Amino acid sequence: MKKIIKMLSILLAMVALPMIFACSSDHAEEEVLDIQKAYGTWMCIQSTDTYLGQSYNGLFVGVQVTINKDGSYTSTSLNFGYSGTYTYTGNKITARNSSGDTFVVKVSINGDRMTWSGTTSTGISFKYIFQKET
């Protein structure tokens, strides 16, 4: 009986292992941000921040962000810093404001809508949707 169980375990591992790698490779591909689509001025039209299980809607609605081609940005929000610089890799933008604070956001752009999502170093999860203005 032990030999049968051992053989079944080996057989199961041989069948399951390729499927695990096949599935993981599908998820390993990261969306790549076309940064040129991000250039311009964006207005936050919807926001959700979640902290300790409590959600707060609309805190960033009305915040304007301008992403410049030269690797700089400006914002109407003190939380983002009124100005700073950014770099990007894959679908993530890392911004550093003029005070030296950094934040990383996962970015997706669909037409004239840009979505930012992520979690801050203080544990706040966020999702912001921006509408392109210019």
Distances, alpha carbon 78 to alpha carbons 18, 117, 120, in Å = 49, 18, 15
Q: Is 35 in a helix, a strand, or coil? A: helix
In angstroms, the CA 50 to CA 57 distance is 9
List beta partners, residue 103: 95
Tell me: the pLDDT tens digits for 49-66? 999 999 999 999 999 999
- pLDDT tens digit at each of 134 positions of the chain: 434 333 323 333 333 323 333 333 444 455 799 999 999 999 999 999 999 999 999 999 999 999 999 999 999 998 888 999 999 999 999 999 998 888 899 999 999 999 999 988 788 999 999 999 98
Q: Return the amino acid letter for 15.
A: V
In angstroms, the CA 112 to CA 31 distance is 18
In angstroms, the CA 15 to CA 30 distance is 27
